[in-house]
Chains A and B, each alone.
Chain A
Amino acid sequence: MTGAAPLISVQNLAASYGHIEALRPTSLHVAPGEFVTILGPNGAGKTTLLRAITRLIPSKGQVLFNGQDVTGLKTHDLAKLGIIMVMEGRGLFGEMSVRENLQLGAYKMPSTPGEMDRRLDKVFTLFPRLKERIDQQASSMSGGEQQMLAVGRALMAEPKLLILDEPSLGLAPRVATEILSTLGALNKEGLGILLVEQKAPLALKLAQRVYILSSASVRAELPTHEIKSHHDLARYYFS
């Protein structure tokens, strides 16, 4: 799968906060239908990398999506092309209902009759609990349900590339496994996924390739089967 033309190709992307270099020139790619994970210690620049890719922060470098240079595009234009990110902390519209959050996920959807219902049904099949909570205010749900909503909302856009920033953060292991397993199933259906995750064992089980980020730059890129143990990871983290 890695031999295919990249769905997204990030070349020498660099970002800084004032004088602090938060991300040194970094390159990575995700092939269509590939599941790629980015691992690294806290402060390695993982979130900055995702925010730079989605243009939430200004950056230098180049981003190609399906071969098209999208470097100059704004965040909402990238979403229109099919790059959807579930941000760290979920980014839900807490005062709105589950239904409204999901409807907003399909903001760029073509207005054909029945399309909204079709997409809602698809999300409810993956996360039946969202259907039970359809009229509940998003902020009143449990952390796990909120994360399901964040992922479900992103799926409403029918993305070509789904980017997730630490979706298991703060969740009970069982719930985290449930959500990450759903991502694995979606990937098997052909969805390209770029995942930043602290729970390395879970992420490594699902992903085909891993980038290891440390001290604001990529330290290694390798197929996940080459990582046999935590010692391997630690070696890359601190090399």
Chain B
Amino acid sequence: MPSGVELIQSLVNGLGVGLIYGLIAIGFSVIYNASGIVNFAQGVFVMLGGMFAHTILTRYGLPMWLSAILSTILVAAAGVLVQIFVINPMWRRNAPLFAIILATLAVQLLIEQIVILTLGDQPRTYPEFTAGGPLKIGAIAIPYQLFWILGCGAVMVFALTQFFERTRMGRALRACAQNREAAALLGIPVERMLVVAFALSAGLGGVAGILITPTQYTAYLIGTPFGINGFIAAIIGGFGSPVAGLVGGIFLGVIQSEAIVFFGAGFKNIVSLTLLLIVLLFFPKGLFGGFQKKT
């Protein structure tokens, strides 16, 4: 039986990684709600965030804050390119959704290969944003980076909520999610909205990657596990609001972390996939959609 300290420490660790899953989950939801597409290349944006930030930091010697901003812009631009060169041509040809979803998987593999060829296959990391630490509370250690993840996560969820609720473009994106034909009939350029959705979604993934890299590492292959966990978090949250995605991520992160303490690291994925199945079986619209009775 794990001690109280171990439990609390794992809770802290789970919270950190869960927030990252949450940001990825929001990215999944933004694209899914605007288009019905599940973008399986979402995880690769997390990898690109860390890789770009590391490259800008080490090769060009720019400060962390500037590297983070530039990396986010670059990853958002990568998302736009994916939309323009892969999604949009298929969309215009009325390709079935499953074909577009498969194409996003191909994009993930393609980007991974490009990263190997250009940046190499070695894992890399960079220092936490705030030196020193971790913060010690008794026997519990809280890395300073967790506060950055918490703060940035909160700011981004707040900003996204405001964007979707209060801005003309945010409302237009929500309109596209609910009825694309009606949106177009009102003059909303649906295809352009999809570009915005990809930019937002990729940018979110990029920020997640930039934030998490100092606590572990980044490499060309980290996109897949982050993508899968972000996807599970999105399902738990129910592909709804930014808050739902974030809560789904935190829930998953904490459960995984506790599973490691209770059963060992090997059980982390078993527990999260079991959780996914339970949610799909009893809460097919996500935890925020409520328990679904049999019809």
Contacts and interface: CB of A to CB of B under 8 A. Distances in A.
A84 B190 CA distance: 16
A49 interface: no
B186 A153 contact: yes
B186 A96 contact: no
Nearest to A75: B184
B181 A96 contact: no
Contacts of B185: 54, 56, 75, 79, 84-85, 87, 91
B168 interface: yes
Interface string B190-203: 10000000000000
Contacts of A122: none
Contact of A107 (B168, B174, B178, B181): B168
Contact of B190 (A76, A85, A103, A154): A76
B184 A93 contact: no
Interface in A60-95: 74-76, 79-80, 84-85, 87, 91-95
Contacts of B174: 93, 95-96
Contacts of A52: none
B179 A107 contact: no
A24 interface: no
A91 B171 contact: no
Nearest to A80: B187
B184 A91 contact: no
Interface string B46-87: 000000000000000000000000000000000000000000
Given A93-B174, A96-B174, A104-B171, A74 B184 contact: yes
Nearest to A150: B182
A84 B168 CA distance: 19
A79 B187 contact: yes
A48 to B, nearest CB: 14
A154 B183 CA distance: 11
A54 B179 CA distance: 16
B187 A96 contact: no
Given A76-B188, A76-B189, A104-B188, A87 B175 contact: no
Interface in B172-230: 172, 174-175, 178-179, 181-190
Interface range on chain A (Cβ under 8 Å from partner):
20 to 34
A93 B187 contact: no
Interface string B240-259: 00000000000000000000
A76 B191 CA distance: 10
Interface string B116-152: 0000000000000000000000000000000000000
Which interface residue of B184, B189, B190 has the most chain A CB atoms within 10 A?
B184
Contacts of B172: 104, 107
Given A76-B184, A107-B186, A95 B168 contact: no
B171 A105 contact: no
Contacts of A94: 178
Interface string A98-120: 00100111011000000000000
A30 interface: no
Nearest to A95: B178
Contacts of A100: 171
Task: Report the 7 A-B pairs with minimum CB-CB distance, sorted nearest first.
Answer: A91-B182, A79-B187, A75-B184, A108-B187, A93-B178, A76-B189, A76-B187
11 contacts: A56-B184, A74-B184, A75-B181, A76-B187, A87-B185, A91-B182, A91-B185, A104-B183, A107-B168, A107-B188, A153-B186
Given A87-B181, A93-B182, A93-B183, 14 more contacts: A75-B181, A75-B184, A76-B190, A80-B187, A85-B185, A87-B185, A93-B175, A96-B171, A103-B168, A104-B183, A107-B168, A107-B188, A108-B187, A154-B186
